[in-house]
Amino acid sequence: MKKYIIIVLGISTFLISQKMKAQVAIGKDNITNSSVLLEFGPGNKGIILPVVDAAPGAVGGTFIFNTIKKALEVWEGKNNGNLGDWTLLSDENQGVIHSFSNAGSDTIPNPAGVIIGADNTAKPGVLVLESTTKALVLPQVANPHTNIKSAIAGTIVYDTAADMLAVYDGANWSYWK
């Protein structure tokens, strides 16, 4: 009987968790900002963006490391006369593609990838944050150019010392205010 109670409790917990619109903390025990969907703990680590040669169907806020341009880019939906276009976040043809670059096809069974903040999305991406009231807080690192050892192309953080967005193209750090 005890075994059945544990199974029922486990299944119930799983089903309830599937309906919740949770906030997520990575590298820490709790969320410290109620207006975020995804928040990172302390440490000299960043997010590594997808390393791709194209991002078909990109929507505003899509970040990639472009293997053809060897640069970090963001898709801005209202760039180029409201037609949408890629904006370089690092110098073109300066980046270095790392040996961890993806090869072959994606293995994620759900083509939408992982969605935080909603049950589904029409946006393409490996990680999609869906919210009208909550945001992403990037990993915060003071002086990533000296504190992130062995950074690879596509690394993105918020530099707390410079108070700027910092992106790494495999060769250089670029800063955005």
Asked whether residue 154 carries a pLDDT value surpassing 80, the answer given is: yes
Q: How far apart are alpha carbons 165 and 131 in whole angstroms? A: 22
- Would you call 136 exposed, middle or buried from its count of C-beta atoms within 10 A (0-12, 13-18, 19+)? middle
- β 155-159/140-141 pair status: parallel
Q: How far apart are alpha carbons 64 and 170 in whole angstroms? A: 13
pTM of the model: 0.74
Predicted pLDDT at 68: 93
Asked whether residue 95 carries a pLDDT value surpassing 70, the answer given is: yes
What is the rounded end-to-end Cα distance, in angstroms, of the chain?
A: 61
Higher local confidence (pLDDT), 27 or 113? 27
Tokens describing residue 15: 């089903």
Spell out the domain ranges in the chain.
Answer: 22-176
Note the pLDDT tens digit of each residue in 120-147. Answer: 888 877 788 888 888 888 899 999 999 9
Q: How far apart are alpha carbons 137 and 38 in whole angstroms? A: 6
DSSP state of 176: E
* Three-state DSSP state, 144: helix
Provide mean pLDDT across the span 137-161. 93
**Mean pLDDT, all residues of the chain:** 80
